[in-house]
Every structure is written in structure tokens, then in C-alpha cells.
Amino acid sequence: MRALVVGAGIGGLVAARALQKAGLEVLVLEAHTYPGGLAGTFTHRGHRLDAGATLLSGFAPEGPMALIAEALEVRFPVEPLPEGFPLLEVHLPRGRVVRPVGREAEREAQRDFFGPEVLPFWRWQEERAKALLRLAPRLPWPPEREELPRLLALVPELLPLLPDLFLKAVHRAPQDPHFLRFLDAQLLIASQAEAGRTYALYAALALDLPHMGSALAPEGVGRVAEALAEGLPVRYKARAERLLLREGRAFAVEVAYGGRRRGEREVVEADLFVLDVPLAPLLGLPLKAPKDAWGAFVVHGVLPFRAPPPYFRQNAREKPFAFLSLRPEGEKTAFALSLHTPLALWEGLSREEYGRLKARWGEMALRLGEALLPGLREAEFLLFGTPRTYARFAGRAWVGGYPQTHPFRFPRVRPFPNVFRVGEGVFPGQSVPAAALSGLRAARLALEALGLAGSEGEARPSFPPSP
């Protein structure tokens, strides 16, 4: 029995390892030269730079990444951050607030900056986040037919959470304009939507990021994907171009190779397929961005000095909010500086217009970044990425999957009987832990369809338990 995984992103790699562990023959196709996709790390001038995701979490005991590490027998080369570590610093019009690791330290920092009126919000947030973390590895959404009993069994746990499925985050928050600006800035990173549009339940979980087992990857976020890819047969520079169907089922993928095999094409057959890439282009259909999706303008570079923590800083004093990620490399510091940008701004431009717009946004990004870390312009080199860059690299111009305005916009995981989608384009959405959980769910569904899972949906070998 052969499984073909298209895309070596986090979701695809988790699914591949789970299927391989269950005894299937697995092959992974990856269009680029390294694993991870937008959670990967590329090399430029001898330095490792993160392609997209920079902030890792979920590694606490019983957290999503810890469960996956145990289930798949993989060791992630990350360094957990201790309680009280200053994880993230947010610059607001009236000053700076630090988000430390640990809920007690966070509440103290929030009270000192915003006042005691924000504490009920953080108590609500903690309660909802803990409930969702217990549910996350078991929650099938939207459910496939065979998952309906699993979903129904979770109803008693879901019922208390339902009001926050329909409320927006802003409705749970104190109406202090400074606190609302803080929420907008944080949720744009985690949910691709501001507090007035992010549904409250997702906001509670997204805001828990510092307390879910935050960790640093000394050589870049891509080390997580590299650990997952170890021992898997991965063909790099292998771009899947078409999913071939027969009588409503997939039977093969057309592949075009690059690198040393440039110009070669092959039809790769398999019994089941996991897609960590958008489905539409594989069916010959245009890929449409969500109307409310954001693009990203990113600056990568390496500084000739070692920057101190916090290693994550956000300039929310003015829009567009700028997010700076720092990673020390000996006596130097690799960084990524990102800004949300409207997709329409970058469409239909001539080469000259595109060059001028890119230069203007580059200058604005560095100005906003200098407010977070003076000396940013001293970088040994600067690389600039736009939505056009992401369209070339990732196959789509927008970032973060679907903005988390409600959970009903996510597509089915199984578009065809033997095809399963994973990654940030399916529930629960963006982030490394979310993509990893999507891979585990796809593998479980595939193994159940093949009769290689127990009656309760626990695949052999072990997975995080299903109800």
C-alpha cells in the first residue's frame, strides 16, 4: 500500500511519518530544496533564515507538539523557554508591554500596564484556552462521515464553549482603546484578523501562545520540519502539477522535476494521497485568495551584533503593525521583519511600478523596525519579500490560510475518497501545532479507511487518543 504526500510542510511530514510508522510505503514530493514550506528555514550567504513562521509553541507537556513527538517517536531540537522569560514586547502609543512566559507573570505585566480591569479578560482567556487545548487533538472539524460519532461524543465538552464561537474577541475585552489596539496587533499575527473580526474562541487560544510551551530553535524554525523529515523518502525539486482522477478517486500525480532532473516529468501512482499544497491548481482550476486575506511584506537580514531578548517585538504604535523576530547566531543575529499588506496593492503593476512600491515598503518597514531595534539598517544584507515573492515560492500570495473570523469557512479534509488535505488551509488553521494536528488527523482518517486503526480511531501504532 503506497501513500504519496505532496508537500513537505509540517502537516504533510506529520502525516507521512504516521503512515510510515503504520507500515505503509510512503513517498514525499517537495517542490523546493528543503522541508517545511512556510515553516522552513533557507540558507543565504551561509546564514539560516526563516521563510515564514518564526515563533514556536505547543511543546509543553500534553501540548500538541509534545503529543506528536511521543506518538511519532521524533525528537524536536528546540530549547523550551523558562517561566518569566520575556518572550514578546509590544510597543503601543503609551509605552511598551512585555508578554512573558507563564500566565501569572503575564497577568502581572498586564495589570501593571493596562490596570486591573483587564484581569477578568485574562481569566476568561485562560479558562477557554485550557479547554480548547484538551480538545484540540480530538476535535474533527468539519467532520467527515466516519468522524460524526467522535464529534458527538465531544458535545458535552463543546457546549460551554458555544457562545464564544459566535462572539468576537472584542466583545470579551474591556473597551480600553489601548488594550484593544494590543489585541488587534496580537491577533493579526495569530489569526490574520483583528479583534473585531476574530471569533472569541480562537482568540482565547491564539493569545495563549506564550504559555503553551514556547521554545527557541537555535538554527531556525525549519529544524522542526527537518526533524520530521529525517528517515522519510523525500524527493526535493519535485513539483506536483496535476492530480489524476479515475471514477472519482485519485490514482496518480503528474510531477515535473527541477535541479539535476530539470525537464524530466513522471506520473507517480499511489493508493492514497495527502496534499499539503492547495488543491485547486492540481485540478487545473485557478487558486482564489479569500477576499479578506492578507499579504506579507518581509525583510530578512543578519545583524553584526547579538541582540538581547525579547526576541520577538511588535510595533503597534502605527499601522501597518511591524513584527520583528530575532534569532542569535553566535555574535550575530538573524532577523525577519514582517508587515501585513493588502494583496490588491501588488496586483497589475508594471516592473517599474513594482520596483518603486517594493522600495517604498522596504523603507517603511526599516523605519518601523528601527523603533523596535536600533541598528537594524546595519544588517550585512537585506532581502525583501512581497506577496509576489510568496506567490512564486508558496504557490499563493496570501499568508496564514483563512483569517479566523469563524470556523465554518474551512473546507473538508477529504475532497475525494482517497485524498486528504493538511496544513494551514484546513482546520484548525495557521501555526506549526495546528498544521501538525491536521497531519495527524489525515493519517488517522486514511488508516481507518484502510482498516489499520482500532475501533475508537486510535491508529496502530499509537496516536494521541481519540474519544
- Given this model, what pLDDT does residue 300 score? 97
Q: How far is CA 237 from CA 120, 318, 351, 447, in A?
A: 51, 41, 28, 28
Amino acid occupying residue 373: L
- Given this model, what pLDDT does residue 331 score? 95
Kindly give the confidence (pLDDT) of every residue in the chain, 467 residues in length, as a single tens digit, with 9 standing for 90 and above.
999 999 999 999 999 999 999 999 999 999 999 999 999 999 999 999 999 999 999 999 888 999 999 999 999 999 999 999 999 999 999 999 999 999 999 999 999 999 999 999 999 999 999 999 999 888 999 999 999 999 999 999 999 999 999 999 999 999 999 999 999 999 999 999 999 999 999 999 999 999 999 999 999 999 999 999 999 999 999 999 999 999 999 999 999 999 999 999 999 999 999 999 999 999 999 999 999 999 999 999 999 999 999 999 999 999 999 999 999 999 999 999 999 999 999 999 999 999 999 999 999 999 999 999 999 999 999 999 999 999 998 888 998 889 999 999 999 999 999 999 999 999 988 899 999 999 999 999 999 988 887 533 344 434 443 32
Domains and CATH numbers, the chain: 2-45+53-76+221-286+401-449 (3.50.50.60), 82-212 (no CATH), 294-394 (3.90.660.10)
* H/E run at residue 291: none
DSSP letter for 466, please. Answer: P
Residue pair 438/420 in contact (Cβ under 8 Å)? The answer is no
Among 322, 333, 320, 306, which residue's Cα sits nearest to residue 372?
322
State how far the Cα of 70 lies from the Cα of 16, in Å rounded to an integer.
15
State how far the Cα of 8 lies from the Cα of 125, in Å rounded to an integer.
33
Among 126, 150, 138, which residue's Cα sits nearest to residue 64?
138
Report CA 444 to chain centroid distance, whole Å.
21
- Given this model, what pLDDT does residue 430 score? 87
pTM of the model: 0.95
Q: How far is CA 141 from CA 136, 154, 358, 428, 442, in A?
A: 10, 12, 39, 8, 12
Residue pair 215/81 in contact (Cβ under 8 Å)? The answer is yes
- Given this model, what pLDDT does residue 459 score? 40
Residue appearing with cell numbers 507517480:
268
Amino acid occupying residue 125: Q
- Given this model, what pLDDT does residue 467 score? 29
